[in-house]
C-alpha cells in the first residue's frame, strides 16, 4: 500500500480582516495587565503585530487553519494511481470544501489546461480528530494514468472558518491563543518566563495534524 499526501501547498488567499482573539481577551489573560489595567501603550503592537503572529504561528505549527483560506496543493511524486488502496492526504485540518482536483492526462499536448477529475471517480474520507481528510479513487475508475511529470495532481480547497466567522471555534483554542499572545507582553515586562506553557502546549498538540509519511508495504 502506498500513502502519499498533497505536501506542496500554496496559499491563494488568506482573510486577515479579523482574528479569533481580540485585544480585550489578550489583556484579560495577561498578568501584566491585571496589575496595569489602564496601560494602553502596548495596544497598537498587540493588535497589529502580536495577534497576527500568534495566529500565523498556530496555523503553521498545527496545520489547523483558523482564518478563511483558499489553498492549492500538489502531490509531488505520483504519476499514476493503479489501485483504490492509495489514500492521498492533505497538510491541513479544518478543510470545509474541496473545489476540484485536476491533472494533466496521459496524452497531454503541452498546451491544454488541466483536466478536472470527475466527482463520480473519487470520494473523500473526512477528517477525524488529528487525522486529515483523504482523497480516494473509486475502484471501478482505477487506474488513473497521468502525464509523466512531477507535481501533476492538484487539489484546490477552502479551509478555516468561512468569512472568519469564529462563532464555532473551541473556547480552548481561544484561551490558548489569548494566553500565548499575553505571554509575549508578560515576558517582556518580567511577569513570566515561558512563551509556551504546558497548558498551551497541550491545546496545540490536541489540534495538531498527524503528519503522514510515505509508506510502502
Q: What confidence category does residue 1 fall into, taking pLDDT thresholds of 50, 70 and 90? A: very low
83-89-94 Cα angle (round to 5): 145
Q: Is the backbone of residue 129 left (phi > 0), alpha (psi -120 to 50) or beta?
A: left
Measured CA to CA, the distance from residue 95 to residue 181 in angstroms comes to 25
Cell of 125: 474520507
And the C-alpha cell for 169?
471555534
Q: Place 82 in a pLDDT band, splitting at 50, 70 and 90.
A: confident
User: Using omega within 30 degrees of 0 as the cis cutoff, is the peptide bond preceding 143 cis?
Assistant: yes
| % of the chain surpassing 90 pLDDT | 77
- Partnered with residue 149 across adjacent β-strands are none
32-72 tens-digit pLDDT: 999 999 999 999 999 999 999 999 999 999 999 999 999 99
Give percent above pLDDT 70 in the chain.
93
Indicate the DSSP class of residue 93. Answer: B
In Å, what is the CA distance from 87 to each residue of 40, 49, 148?
A: 51, 39, 20
Entry pTM:
0.91
180: DSSP letter:
H
**Measured between alpha carbons, how far is 92 from 79 in angstroms, rounded to an integer?**
23
Domain spans in the chain, listed from the N-terminal domain onward = 21-66+166-212, 69-163
Q: Do β-strands 69-74 and 134-137 pair in parallel, antiparallel, or remain unpaired?
A: unpaired
Checking if the pLDDT of 216 tops 50, the result is: no
CA pair distance 204, 55, nearest whole angstrom: 12
Q: Which residue has the cell 482574528?
A: 19
Contact 68, 83 (CB under 8 A): no
Amino acid at each position: 500500500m502506498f500513502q502519499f499526501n498533497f505536501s506542496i501547498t500554496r496559499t491563494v488567499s488568506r482573510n486577515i480582516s479579523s482574528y479569533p482573539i481580540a485585544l480585550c481577551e489578550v489583556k484579560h489573560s495577561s498578568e501584566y495587565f491585571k496589575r496595569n489595567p489602564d496601560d494602553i501603550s502596548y495596544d497598537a503592537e498587540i493588535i497589529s503585530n502580536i495577534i497576527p503572529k500568534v495566529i500565523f504561528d498556530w496555523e503553521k505549527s498545527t496545520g489547523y487553519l483558523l482564518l478563511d483560506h483558499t489553498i492549492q496543493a500538489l502531490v509531488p511524486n505520483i504519476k499514476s494511481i493503479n489501485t483504490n488502496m492509495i489514500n492521498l492526504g492533505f497538510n491541513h485540518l479544518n478543510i470545509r470544501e474541496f473545489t476540484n482536483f485536476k491533472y494533466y492526462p496521459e496524452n497531454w499536448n503541452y498546451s491544454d489546461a488541466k483536466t478536472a477529475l470527475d466527482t463520480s471517480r473519487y470520494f473523500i474520507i473526512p477528517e477525524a480528530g488529528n487525522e486529515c481528510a483523504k482523497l480516494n479513487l473509486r475502484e471501478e475508475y482505477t487506474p488513473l494514468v497521468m502525464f509523466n511529470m512531477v507535481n501533476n495532481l492538484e487539489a484546490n480547497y477552502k479551509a478555516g472558518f468561512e468569512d472568519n466567522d469564529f462563532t464555532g471555534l473551541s473556547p480552548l483554542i481561544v484561551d490558548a491563543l489569548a494566553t500565548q499572545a499575553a505571554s509575549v507582553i508578560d515576558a517582556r515586562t518580567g511577569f513570566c518566563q515561558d512563551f509556551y506553557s504546558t497548558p498551551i502546549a497541550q491545546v496545540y498538540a490536541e489540534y495538531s495534524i498527524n503528519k503522514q509519511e510515505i509508506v510502502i508495504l
